[in-house]
Chains A and B, each alone.
Chain A
Amino acid sequence: MNTISTPFRNVVPDVQPNMFASYGSKTWNQYDPATGVLTSNNSTFVTDAVQPGMVLFNPEDSTSWATIQSVDSETELTLNGGFIYESSGGTRLVRFSIATAAVAFKQYCTDTESSKYWWANYKVGDRVQSQGQQLKTSFNKAVATIVAMEWDEVNDLAFMTLDKPLQSSRALWVYKEGNVYAYPFEKIQAMELYSYYEVGDDSEVYMTLYDARRTDNVTIYPWLLTPDSREEVQSVGKELENKVIKAIQRCSRSPWPTGTVMIEDSYGLTFET
C-alpha cells in the first residue's frame, strides 16, 4: 500500500521558555530594512533592560535573525539586518522575539526525568521546529538542526544547541528521519483545495483529501494560515496544490508496492482529521 506522508512531530516535553522578559509575544509597528530601525509601540526596551548583542528574530520565520546593535529609546531598536518581516508572498509578519545570545540558540529541559528522555531520543542532526507566536502562520517556517546535545551536570538537565533561534514558549517539535505521518494513497477519492478571501474577514486556504466514506478525511493547512490579500490567497493555494499534486503523481508512478512519498518541504504540515 503506497502512502503520501509528512514528517512526524515528536512534541518535546518540559522545555524552558527562552524568551527575554516579555519579548515572546511582541509586535512591531515599523521596520526599515535600510536603516535596521525597528519600532514597537507595545515595548519598553529601556525599562526592560534590553541590551545590544541580544538576538532578535521573527518567530513565524526565524530562517534568519538579527543582533541588536543599539537600544535607541523605549520603543526603538537598531538591528544589524537579517530580520524577516514579511512572507515571500508579501504578507506582513508583525511578530518579533528577543532572547539573550546565551540561550537564543539553545533549548534547556526543565526536568531531570524528561532530560533523560531527551538524551535517549534526540540526536545531533535531528530537525527541530517551533510553533512560534502564531498570528499569521501555523508554525515557524524555520527548521533548525541539532548541532549539539549536552548535559548540564550542575543542574542534572539536558540541553540542545540549534543552528537557528527558536521560541520555546509554545510547542517545540523534533523530527526524526524516517518517522512520518502517512495517508494511504488508495483512500484518496477526491482532493479539494478551498480558498477564501473577503475584505474584513480572516482569509484561509487548505486542502482536504476525501476518502470514500468521508470518515477518514484529512486536511492540510499551509504555513501561512491567514494571507493578507486575494493574490496571496491564490499564491499560497497554488504552492500547496503543487506540493500535494506532485506527491500524488510520484506516489502513483512509484514502482514499489509499499512506497511512501513525502510531500516536498513539508516540515510543519500534518494530516488533520
Chain B
Amino acid sequence: MTKFLGPFVNRDGDSPTYLEEYKIWVNLDGVVTTASSAISSYLYFYSFNLGSQDIYAKAFYFYGPNAGDDELDGVDYNYLRFLNANFIDVINSSPEDVVIEPTYPTGFPTRNIYVAIDSL
C-alpha cells in the first residue's frame, strides 16, 4: 500500500544569502529488504521494480547536522534502527494517513538526510 515517509530535508546552503534545499518524500510500497554497513554514511532499502526484473533501492544518505556538512559515518548512530522505527510507524499508521513525517529519537545526530532512487 502506498505510503510516503517524509519529508527528509537535505540542505547544502542555509544562510540569509544562500539557500539550497531538497525536501524528499519516499514511497515505501514494495520495500523487501535492506542493506546496511555499520560504518557507512548511507543505507539502502531494496524493492522489486514493478513490471521488470530489475531491483532498485531507496538510498538514504546521512550528513552532518548543518547545511553543507560532510556525510556522517554510521558507526555510532545505527541508521538502520532509526529507519526501521519509522517504517514500523508507517506500517501501523491509519489507512487515512498517506504522508507520515519521520520521527527522530533523542540524541539522533542529524536531520540533514538526502534520499535518492538508485537502480541496481
Contact = CB atoms under 8 A, between A and B. Distances in A.
Interface stretch (B19-27, B33-41, B62-70, B72-80): B19-27
A233 B18 CA distance: 11
A186 interface: yes
A252 B29 CA distance: 12
A192 B27 contact: no
A212 B24 CA distance: 15
Nearest to B28: A189
B58 A189 contact: yes
A233 to B, nearest CB: 6
A188 interface: yes
Contacts of B26: 189-190
Contact of B22 (A188, A193, A213): A193
A186 B4 CA distance: 12
A210 B18 CA distance: 26
B25 to A, nearest CB: 5
B16 A248 contact: no
Which of A185, A191, A237, A248: most chain B Cβ within 10 A? A191
Given A188-B27, A214-B117, A253-B96, A197 B4 contact: no
A248 B99 contact: yes
B50 A249 contact: no
Nearest to B55: A212
Contacts of A198: 13, 17-20
A195 B19 contact: yes
A245 interface: yes
Contacts of B22: 192-194
Contacts of A245: 25, 99
Given A191-B25, A210-B117, A212-B117, A196 B98 contact: no
Nearest to A197: B19
B119 interface: yes
Contacts of B6: 191
A245 B49 CA distance: 23
A252 B1 CA distance: 9
A249 B93 CA distance: 14
A230 interface: yes
Interface of A: 185-186, 188-199, 210, 212-214, 230, 233-234, 237, 241, 245, 248-249, 252-253
Given A189-B58, A248-B99, 10 more contacts: A185-B2, A194-B21, A195-B19, A198-B13, A198-B19, A210-B117, A212-B56, A213-B49, A214-B117, A248-B4
